[in-house]
Amino acid sequence: METKGLIKKYKVGSEIITALAGVDIKIYKGEFVAVLGTSGSGKSTLLNMISGLERPTKGDIIIGGTRLNKVSERNMARFRSREMGFIFQAYNLIPSLTAMENVTLPLMLQGVSKKKREKRAKAMLIELGLGKRLHNKPSQLSGGQQQRVAIARSLVTEPKIIFADEPTGNLDTKTTIEILSFLQQIVRKRQCTLIMVSHDLEVAQYADRIIHMRDGKVIKITEGEAAIKELTKAEEIIESLPDIEEPKTESPQSAQEKEPEAEKAKILNEEDTEEKR
C-alpha cells in the first residue's frame, strides 16, 4: 500500500481546512502499522482516505496496483467488502442479534451459504475465546467481549487489510493488552496488514512501525517495541549459533618447505632400487 502526495481539504463555512498536507507513506504486506497523533493531527482522515471511505482532494492511494481514487463508488464498495476489514472504538454490533449472528453478517452479504458462514463464525469466535458466548446478545457481553465479537466480524471474511480506529479506546488496561496481543498474532499468522489509529503511544508500541502525525503531515516514522523485540530475538538466535571452524590450509611457505623433503625421499628410494639391482 502506498500514498503519494495525499492532500485532503474541507470547506467549513468560508474557511478551507487542510486535514492532510501531502502524505507519502508505504505500508507492506504482513505489517502492523500504528498511525499516532493527537486530535486534529490528520490520523483518522488518513485512515478514511486509504480505506476508500473518503476521496482525497489530490494525490494517489495505491493498493496492490489499484489506484483507489480512480475506482467508482460501486466498485469501491465491492473492493472494501472483499479486501478490507474494519474495527472501530464503538463496537457497532446489532443489539438484536447474537454474537454469532453479528459475525456471520459480512459473509451473508458475500453470498456464503448459511452452513459455511456459521461454521466460520463459530471457529473465529472460539479462536477469540468466546466459544461459550456464541448465542449471547451484545447487552449480555462485557465491553471486552463485545470488541472481540467486532474483531471476529472484521476477520471472518479473511481480509488482506484490517483498519482499526482506536480499537481499545473503551477498554481497561488488561483487556487492551489482550486485544493488542491477539491482533499481533493475527497479523503474524495470516500475513495480513493491520493499520491502527491511536493517540496513545503505549498502544502504538505494539505495532512494527509507528507513523507520527502532526498538522496533517508525517513528522517521523519509528519502530515499535514489537519490531525491536523481533530484531533482538533474531540477534540472540544468531549469537547462540556455534562457531564454524574454517578448514586448515597450509601456508605457501610451509608447502615450499615440504617440497625439498619429498624430493629427497624420492631420490633415496631410487638409489635403493639401483643398489638392489
Tens-of-pLDDT digits for all 277 residues of the chain?
999 999 999 998 889 999 999 999 999 999 999 999 999 999 999 999 999 999 999 999 999 888 988 899 889 988 888 899 999 888 889 999 999 999 999 999 889 999 999 999 999 999 989 999 999 999 999 989 999 999 999 999 999 999 999 998 888 899 899 999 999 998 999 899 999 999 999 999 999 999 999 999 999 999 987 656 655 555 566 566 665 555 555 555 555 545 555 554 555 555 455 544 5
Q: How far is CA 1 from CA 31, 62, 67, 211, 216, in A?
A: 11, 6, 10, 14, 19
Asked whether the whole model's pTM tops 0.85, one would answer no
Count of the separate structural domains present in the chain: 1
Q: Which domain holds residue 199?
A: 2-234
User: Does some domain include residue 162?
Assistant: yes
* H or E element that contains 224: none
C-alpha 103/C-alpha 67 separation (Å) is 30
Helix (H, G, I), strand (E, B) or coil at 64: coil
User: Does some domain include residue 263?
Assistant: no
CA angle, 140 then 143 then 144, to 5°: 110
C-alpha 144/C-alpha 141 separation (Å) is 8
Q: In what order do the strands lie in the sheet with 58-63?
A: 15-26, 2-12, 58-63, 66-67
**Count of CA atoms in the C-beta half-sphere (13 A) of 202:** 5
User: Does some domain include residue 147?
Assistant: yes
Q: What is the CATH number of the domain that holds 175?
A: 3.40.50.300
